[in-house]
Structure 1
Amino acid sequence: MTQINVLLKKEWRENFRNYKIFWIPIVFILFGIIEPVTNYFLPQILDSVGNLPEGAVIELPPPAPEEILVAVMGQYQLIGMLVLVLAYMGSVAGERKNGTATLLYVRPLSYRAYFLSKWILASTVGILSVWSGLLAAYYYTFLLFERVDFTKFLKFGATYSLWILLIVSLVLLMSAALPNAGLAAAGSLLAIFIFQLIDGLFGTYWTVSPMKIPVYAAQWLLDGPKPEDFWWTIGIGIILLIAMILAGIWSSKANASKTKI
C-alpha cells in the first residue's frame, strides 16, 4: 500500500504539471455547455446565415431536454474519447521510450502498484471530467429548456461512467502492451472503431454487449433499459474491465525489458 501511495503521488504531480487535471475537464465542460446553447440559439443562427427571403421566419420545435443530453454524450463518444486517448496514450509506453521508467524499474517495483496508480489517476480524471461536463449540460438544459428528472440523470451518468472506465483501461492496456505512444493511440482508436462498427452492423442481433453501455445509458433518460439486458451488459463490462487491468499489469511487467536506457 505504501508503494502505490508513492506512485499515486507521482502520477498526481505529473498530471498537475502537464495540466491534464485542468484542460481535460475544461474540454468536457465546454462541449457540455455548447450543445444546449447551440440548440437554443439555432433558429437565430440559421436566420443570420440562411439567406432567406425577407420576412421569412424559421420556427423549429424545441428539442426535448433528454435529446440534448444524449447529444452531449454523442459529442463525448467522439471528441471526449479522442481527448482521453491522446492524454493517456503515453502513460506507460512514453515512460519506457524516454527512459523515465528506468528510474522506477531499478527499484523493487510492484508492477501491480505501478499500473494501478496510473489507472486510478486516469480514471479519476476521466470520471470527474465527464461528470463536470454532464452537470454543466444538465444545468444549461434546465436553464434554457426544461428540467430532466435528476434520478434519471444520475442513472444515465453512472452507466456512462462505466463506459469511460472501459475506454481508460483500453488506452492504458495499449500503452503497456505496445512500444510507443503513437501505436498505443492508434491501437486504442482502431479497437474502438472496429467494435463500434461490428455493433452497428450486427448489434440488432444481440442485446448484451459492453458496446451497448452508451445506448443503455441514454435509455435511462426515457423509460429505462430492460433490466435483464442491462445488468448482463454491466456484468460483462465489469469483467472486461478487470480483464484489461490484469492484462495491463502483465504487459507492464512483460515489456519492462524494452525500456530505453
Structure 2
Amino acid sequence: MKQLGVLFQKEWRENLRNYKIFWIPAVFILFGIMEPVTNYFLPQILDSVGNLPDGAVIEIPPPEPAQILAAVLGQYQLIGMLVLILAYMGTIAGERKSGTATLLYVRPLSFTSYFLSKWMIAGLIAIISVWSGLLAAYYYTFLLFEQVDFVKFIQFAATYSVWILLVVSIVLAASAALPNPGFAAAVALAVVFLAQLGDGLLGAYWTVSPVKIPNYAAQWLVDGPVRADFWWALGIALLLIAMAVTFGVWMSRKNAADTKV
C-alpha cells in the first residue's frame, strides 16, 4: 500500500509536468460548451452562410435539453475517446521503449502497485475531464435553453463514467502488452471503435453489451433505460475492467525484461 501511494504521487507529478491534468479537461470542456452554443446560434449561422433569397426566414425548433446533452456524448465518443487513447498510449510502453522504466525495475517493485498507480491517475483525470465537460454542457444548456433535472444528469454522467473507465483500462492494458506506444494506440483504437461499429450493426440482437452504456447513459435523461439490461451491461463492463487491469498487471511483469537499457 505504501508503494502504491509513492507511485501514485510519482504519476501525479508526471501528469502535472506534462500538463495532461490541464489540457485533457480543457478539451472535454470545450466540446461540452460547443454543443449547446452551436445549437443556440444555429439559425444565425445558417442565415449567414446559407445564401438564401431575400426575405427567407429559417425557423428551426429549439432542441430538447436532453437531446443536447446526449449529443455531447456523440462528440466524446469520437474526439474524447481519441484524446484519451493518444494521451495514455505510452503510459507503460513509452517508459519501456525510452528506458526510463529501468529506474523503477531495478528496485523491488510490486507490478500490481505499478500498474494500479497509472490506472488510478489515468482514470481520475479521465473522470474529472468528462464530468467537467458535462457540467459545462449542463450549465450552458440551462443558460441557453432549459434545465435538465439534476438527478437525471447525475445518473447520466455516472453511467457514462463507467464506459470511460473501461476505455482507460483497455488503453493501459494495451500499453502494458505491446512494445511501443503507436502499436498500443492502434490496438486500443481498433478495440474501442470496432466494438462500437459492431454494436451499431448488430446491437439490436443483444441488450446487455457494455458498448451500450453510452446509450443507457443518455436514456437516463428521459425515462431511463430498462433496468435489467442496464445492470447486466454495467456488471459486464465492471468485469471487463477488472480483467483488463489483471491482464495489464500480468503483462507489465512479463514484459519488464524487454525494457530498453
Q: Within 1, Cα distance between the matches of 2:154 and 2:49?
A: 38
Q: Within 1, Cα distance between the matches of 2:199 and 2:51?
A: 41
Aligned residues: 261
1:149-168 paired onto structure 2 within 5 Å: 149-168=149-168
The residue aligned with 2:206 is: 206
The residue aligned with 2:18 is: 18
Q: Within 2, Cα distance between the matches of 1:31 and 1:52?
A: 29
Give the alignment's Cα RMSD to 1 decimal. 0.5
1:42-61 CA-partner distances (Å, limit 9, x unpaired): 00000000010011111100
1:169 is the counterpart of 2:169: yes
The residue aligned with 1:55 is: 55
Unaligned stretches of 5+ residues in structure 1: none
Q: Within 2, Cα distance between the matches of 1:67 and 1:198?
A: 24
Identity %: 71
Instruction: Give, as a single letter, the amino acid of the residue that structure 1 aligns with 2:225.
Output: P
The residue aligned with 1:215 is: 215
1:189-217 CA-partner distances (Å, limit 9, x unpaired): 01112211211111101111111101100
1:119 is the counterpart of 2:119: yes
Q: Within 2, Cα distance between the matches of 1:66 and 1:23?
A: 27
Q: Within 2, Cα distance between the matches of 1:203 and 1:72?
A: 21
Q: Within 2, Cα distance between the matches of 1:38 and 1:201?
A: 29
Instruction: Give, as a single letter, the amino acid of the residue that structure 2 aligns with 1:33.
Output: I
Q: Within 1, Cα distance between the matches of 2:201 and 2:12?
A: 41
1:127-138 paired onto structure 2 within 5 Å: 127-138=127-138
Q: CA deviation at 1:250?
A: 0.3
The residue aligned with 1:79 is: 79
The residue aligned with 1:148 is: 148
1:37 is the counterpart of 2:37: yes
1:80-135 CA-partner distances (Å, limit 9, x unpaired): 01000010000000000000000000000000000000000000000000000000
When normalised by structure 2's length, the TM-score is: 0.99
Instruction: Give, as a single letter, the amino acid of the residue that structure 1 aligns with 2:232.
Output: W
